[in-house]
Amino acid sequence: MSAIPPPPADAILSALDRDGHAVLPALLDADACATVAAMFDDGATAFRSTVIMARHGYGQGEYRYFARPLPDMVQQLRETLYPPLAAVANVWADRLAGLRHWPADHTALAAECAAAGQTRPTPLLLRYGPGDHNRLHQDVYGDLVFPLQLAVLLDAPGRDFEGGEFVLVEGRARMQSRARVVPLRRGDAVVFPVRDRPVASARGWSKAVMRHGVADIRYGQRRTLGIIFHDAR
Ligand SMILES: O=C(O)CCC(=O)C(=O)O
Ligand SMILES: [Fe+2]
C-alpha cells in the first residue's frame, strides 16, 4: 500500500466540533480492505490475543489484537494518522484545564507509553456475524490515554452485511444522552473521541463523555480495523 496522505488537522477538528466524529472517506482502497480483513485468520499474521466478546459482556463477535511487530499497513496508519490527531488533541488540551499535551510523532508517544508500563499493542481486527454487536464502551488501557482513535470499515454495507451501524453516544452535564449513527462505506475511517471531548458551553468549554459501539449485524459479515494510539498495560 502506498503512503496515505495525512488528512489536515483543521478539517478533522471542525468535523469533531460539529458532529462529535470525523469521517475520513476512502482511507483504504478495496484491495487494502481485503488484505487487512484477510489477516484475521490467514495464519501468517501474529496476534497477541483473541477475545470472544460474549464471554466478557462486551457484546457478541470476536476481535484479535495484533502482536508486535505490527503489520506494515497497520504501523503505517498509526504513524501517518497520529500527527494530525495529536494537533487536534493539543487544541483540546488548550480548551480544557488540566489536560496534558501530546508529542508530535507516534514514536515519542510509544516511548511514553512504554515508560508508563503500557507496552502491549492495541491495534485490533474485529469480526461480526449475524446477531453480533459491540456494546457501548471506551477503549482505555491504562493511565496514559491518547484522546482520539479510529476504526476503518473493511466490508461493504448493503452488499457484504446489513445493520452493524457504528454508533456514538454523547453525555453532557444536565442533558439527556445523544446518539449518532455514523454512515460509513467500505474503506472509510471514523475518527472519534476515546473517552471525552470538549464542547462549547455557556461558560467556555466543558467535557462531554463519549462511548461507542456497533448495532446488531442483521446479515452477513462485518469486519473492522481499530487503531488506538496508546498501548496497553
Ligand atoms: O467495529 C467497529 O466499528 C468498532 C470497533 C471498536 O470498538 C473499536 O475500533 O474500538
Ligand atoms: Fe472500541
Report CA(204)–ligand 1 centroid distance (Å).
31
Residue spans of alpha helices (H) in the chain: 9-19, 30-38, 72-95, 106-115
Query: What is the structure's pLDDT at 3?
Result: 56
Given the CA of residue 126, which atom of ligand 1 is nearest to it? 1
* DSSP helix/strand/coil, 21: coil
Q: Whose CA is nearest to atom 7 of ligand 1?
A: 213
Q: Residue of the nearest CA to atom 6 in ligand 1? A: 226
Ligand 1 shell residues, CB under 6 Å: 126, 134, 139, 151, 166, 212, 214, 224, 226
> Shortest CA distance to 214 belongs to which of 168, 157, 147?
168
What number is the ipTM of this complex? 0.99
Give 9-228's CATH code, choosing from 2.60.40.420, 2.60.120.620, 1.20.1250.20, 1.20.120.850.
2.60.120.620
Write down the pLDDT at residue 7: 84
Per-residue pLDDT of the chain (233 residues; tens, 9 = 90+): 555 677 899 999 999 999 999 999 999 999 999 999 999 999 999 999 999 999 999 999 999 999 999 999 999 999 999 999 999 999 999 999 889 999 999 999 999 999 999 999 999 999 999 999 999 999 999 999 999 999 999 999 999 999 999 999 999 999 999 999 999 999 999 999 999 999 999 889 999 999 999 999 999 999 999 999 999 99
Distance (Å, rounded) from C-alpha 27 to C-alpha 30?
A: 10
Q: How many angstroms is it from 138 CA to the middle of ligand 2?
A: 6
- The identity of residue 218, as a single letter, is R
Cell of 45: 499474521
pTM (predicted TM-score): 0.97
Q: What is the pLDDT of residue 5?
A: 77
Residue among 51, 134, 146, 155 to mutate when testing ligand 1 (max atoms within 8 A of CB): 134
Task: Say what the pLDDT of residue 37 is.
Answer: 98
Report the nearest-CA residue for atom 9 of ligand 1. 226
